[in-house]
């Protein structure tokens, strides 16, 4: 039995989907006797991809790493908490036979996308942001206005800094070098755009391969089962032909 780890954001986790409708699970079902680790996390930033790759190697030692790269303009709201349990990174695991969902609990940081940041600042979607504010307040000790100020600065300044784009490329390079150094195989899955990366091997740009207008179900570019099945079949044809 071989193992495959999928790392990414909500596109990999499966936004608002039952786990059986995600593309990692569909790959798992297509290939038969194998184990899959889905480490997708809604809003995930490329910042912690290298750490996640190393953690998965040490715990599961998979044969394949499928890394779904997000866009460069993502980040994390970081803090040091006086509460010890909020100053470490912890992970939980949901296990369904040979399919594992790996949950990054983000104990000392909060993933930020542009959309999440805009909602936190505007307050236009309290049904979503009230929970986000409470999580950040509980773990960091910052009050609501401090959170808004910090997020606003990130949105207007930090995310567009050229260094962030350099670090984005470096994180992809690191993941490729690390996986190659341990003698495993890597697949680079760019959901939207690979123009920020000079070169990677074994890559797919999903938007160029699959008709987004046909399969995307919301403004967040998420797929439901039909689109995820299309992607799983593409991965099988391109990279898992021997299984």
Residue 102 pLDDT > 80, yes or no?
yes
Residue 106 pLDDT > 70, yes or no?
no
What's the rounded mean pLDDT across residues 125-145?
A: 89
Residue 89 pLDDT > 80, yes or no?
no
Residue 100 pLDDT > 90, yes or no?
yes
Residues in contact with 179: Cβ distance below 8 Å, sequence separation at least 6, in sequence order: 53, 65, 185, 186
pLDDT in tens, 149-197: 999 999 999 998 999 999 999 999 999 999 999 999 999 999 998 888 8
Contact between residue 35 and residue 5 where contact means Cβ atoms under 8 Å apart: no
Range among 84-88, 92-96, 229-233 rated most confident: 229-233
Buried b (16+ CB within 10 A) or exposed e, 167-201: bbeebbeebbebbeeeebbbbbbbbeebeebeebe
For residue 157, the model assigns a pLDDT of 93
* Alpha carbon distance 23, 109 (integer Å): 27
For residue 35, the model assigns a pLDDT of 94
The model carries a pTM of 0.92
80 pLDDT tier (thresholds 50, 70, 90): confident
What's the rounded mean pLDDT across residues 134-160?
A: 91
Average pLDDT, the chain: 91
Which is more confident, 84 or 226?
226
What's the rounded mean pLDDT across residues 31-50?
A: 91
Give the tokens for residue 14: 């499966």
For residue 55, the model assigns a pLDDT of 94
């Amino acid at each position: 039995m071989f193992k495959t780890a999928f790392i990414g954001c909500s596109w990999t986790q499966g936004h608002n989907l039952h786990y059986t409708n995600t593309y990692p699970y569909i790959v798992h079902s297509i290939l038969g006797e194998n184990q899959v680790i889905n480490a997708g996390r809604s809003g995930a930033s490329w910042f912690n991809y290298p750490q996640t790759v190393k953690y998965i190697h040490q715990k599961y030692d998979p044969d394949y790493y499928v890394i779904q790269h997000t866009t460069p303009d993502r980040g994390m709201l970081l803090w040091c908490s006086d509460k010890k349990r909020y100053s470490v990174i912890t992970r939980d695991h949901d296990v369904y036979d040979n399919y594992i969902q790996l949950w990054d609990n983000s104990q000392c940081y909060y993933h930020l996308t542009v959309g999440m940041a805009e909602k936190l600042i505007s307050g236009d979607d309290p049904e979503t942001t009230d929970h986000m504010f409470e999580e950040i307040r509980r773990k960091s000790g910052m009050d609501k206005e401090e959170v808004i100020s910090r997020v606003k600065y990130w949105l207007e300044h930090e995310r567009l800094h050229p260094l962030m784009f350099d670090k984005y490329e470096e994180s992809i390079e690191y993941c490729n070098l690390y996986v190659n150094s341990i003698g495993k195989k890597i697949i680079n899955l760019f959901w939207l755009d690979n123009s920020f990366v000079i070169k990677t091997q074994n890559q797919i740009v999903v938007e160029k391969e699959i008709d987004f207008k046909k399969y995307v179900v919301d403004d967040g570019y998420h797929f439901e089962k039909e689109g995820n099945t299309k992607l799983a079949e593409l991965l099988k044809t391109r990279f898992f032909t021997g299984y």
